[in-house]
Amino acid sequence: MTELIAKGGIPLKGEVELCGAKNSGFKLMIAALYSDKPCQIKNFSKIGDISSTAKIIEELGGKVNTKNDQILEVSGKNISKQKFSIENGRLSRASTYFVGPLLFRHGKAIIPIPGGCKIGNRPLDRHLEGLKALGASVEIQKNQFVIQGKLKGGRYKFPKNTHGGTDVLVIAASSASGTTILENAAEEPEIDDLIEFLNKMGAKIVREKGRIIKIEGVKEFHPAVHEVMPDRNEAVTFGCAALATKGDIYVKKANPKVLEAFLEAVSKIGGKYEIDPKGIRFYYQKPLQPSNIVTRPYPGFMTDWMSLWVVLMTQARGISIVHETIFENRFVFVSELKKMGAKIELFNPMVPNPDEIYNFNLEDDRPEYFHAAKIFGPTKLKGANLEITDLRAGASLILAALTAEGETKLTGVEHIDRGYENLDSRLKHLGAKIERKER
């Protein structure tokens, strides 16, 4: 078992460079399977999601090679299988992303129900109904989806925002015959990164006004070279770390255009930042003020930033409210923060039109789930023994540990490694006292 041991109370200072976006790199690898010749993916992160996607590709017969430790070469030429193991499928939430390339090559895809973080149900109905709209048949057999058919262009409107569903349909429709129109398509910048890469491969994809994506299917794809966009979630992680520890961190490659909601929130609480052409400097200058945050699909305040913000608000002067509207059960980490002395009350706000406000499927909600937190600050957090249960909560608990007095031990480190490259060593570079130990 791997654990992290951190001693807090030290302002983090220095410079850090963002890695390639976790929410982009793995899907580019899958899209590359349309090409018989190797595609080159630059600036990829050395994280669990990349290695688990590589395992699936290699199990299917595809090739993944690392070139000069900086470039991934991916080819789908030798893909001979229509399915991959449940064991590999459980390592990641990427299973449905493989449907497009597998149908393109074999007319059939047998994929395990995806795994990933324990943050609530991922509404795969939005993926599957979209595939059906393009002519695929979908059956469930022994914890697997059996998807068959030759895809044809069509029109599909997502009932609610879905980042993953938009990814899956964009990839699949790229090889469908005819024209596909996706309505109410998600707008996250990682999707645009995918579109740019597919277009380099020969796809014909255009974003239109009103959350519409138009896709002209093509029959042939060619290799492409693409650099993964910088990880905006990492940028927020280091920005919150600077403010929570009363430090000063310059985040290289941070792009303000994809961080507008976060930067606006930072300004409102009295946090400081400076933008230049190469990145953003985040620094603490005066006591932080409380906030009222509601998570929204892009361009709103991202759900992946929510747990980091909760930790930050334990250091603000006053009562803050954070309302999570994307996932139905994302406050599991709060019980761990309470072990450190955090004063947080979970509750369910009065919502007159829940089906319009909440992005999750209401039938997945449970009476024991809470959708909002009231945070009382400032609080002097104290070290404790903590368990990490999902990726973003894990980063938040590390942030809490670096803010707290005394020593904190964290288990469940594999969740962090799934989405952050060497996070502990990069924090050490900024002055953090944090060590990785094997037990």
* Catalytically active residues, by annotation: 117
CA angle 373-378-381, nearest 5°? 85
CA–CA dist 235, 373 (Å, integer): 23
> Which residue, chain included where needed, has tokens 């430090």?
247
Beta bridge pairs of residue 280: 251, 275
* Sheet with strand 155-157: strands edge to edge: 155-157, 179-183, 212-216, 204-208
